[in-house]
């Protein structure tokens, strides 16, 4: 999950695409009794600007499986999330920073997984919850 910015500049390739699969740590899943099924697919585009900042359009997708938040039946949801990110060579407290040579996308991908998760997981859109008879 590394973008070698120095190499891209040396090759005069100031923009490009990337794609990889990521085995996400289980502790990033916030919903109880849920887990990411398989891998997180990561893809995106980068552009290196004249001031060595790097703009990245990051897209992730994964399958979240667990228990329905209302009725506890098995449930799953395909999650897709896109985020625009800016990496700077200096830490400004708002954007991601990098050393001017290589960008490690791990933190940005982990953050995207955290931000993308639904607050509830439903077995079906019209789930009414546990039925009491």
pLDDT score for 131: 74
Domain ranges of the chain: 2-116
User: Residue length, the chain?
Assistant: 133
pLDDT score for 133: 67
pLDDT score for 132: 73
Tokens of 21: 């699969």
pLDDT score for 89: 94
**What's the rounded Cα separation, in Å, for the pair 56 and 104?**
12
**What's the rounded Cα separation, in Å, for the pair 131 and 133?**
6
Instruction: Tell whether the torsion through CA atoms of 95, 96, 99 and 100 is positive or negative.
Output: negative
Within 8 A by CB and 6+ apart from 103, the residues are 2, 3, 5, 54, 56, 87, 96
- Please give the chain's pLDDT, 133 residues, in tens: 899 999 999 999 999 999 999 999 999 999 999 999 999 999 999 999 999 999 999 999 999 999 999 999 999 999 999 999 999 999 999 999 999 999 999 999 999 999 999 999 999 999 988 777 6
How many other CB atoms are there within 10 angstroms of residue 110's CB atom? 16
pLDDT score for 130: 78
């Amino acid at each position: 999950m590394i973008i070698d910015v120095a190499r891209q500049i040396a090759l005069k390739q100031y923009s490009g695409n990337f794609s990889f699969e990521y085995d996400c740590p289980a502790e990033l899943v916030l919903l109880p009794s849920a887990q990411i099924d398989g891998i997180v697919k990561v893809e995106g585009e980068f552009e290196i600007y004249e001031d060595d900042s790097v703009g990245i359009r990051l897209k992730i997708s994964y399958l979240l499986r667990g228990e329905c938040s209302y009725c506890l039946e098995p449930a799953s949801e395909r999650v897709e999330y896109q985020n625009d990110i800016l990496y700077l060579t200096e830490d400004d407290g708002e954007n991601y920073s990098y050393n001017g040579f290589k960008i490690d996308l791990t933190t940005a991908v982990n953050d995207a997984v955290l931000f993308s998760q639904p607050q509830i997981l439903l077995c079906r859109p019209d789930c009414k919850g546990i039925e009491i008879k």
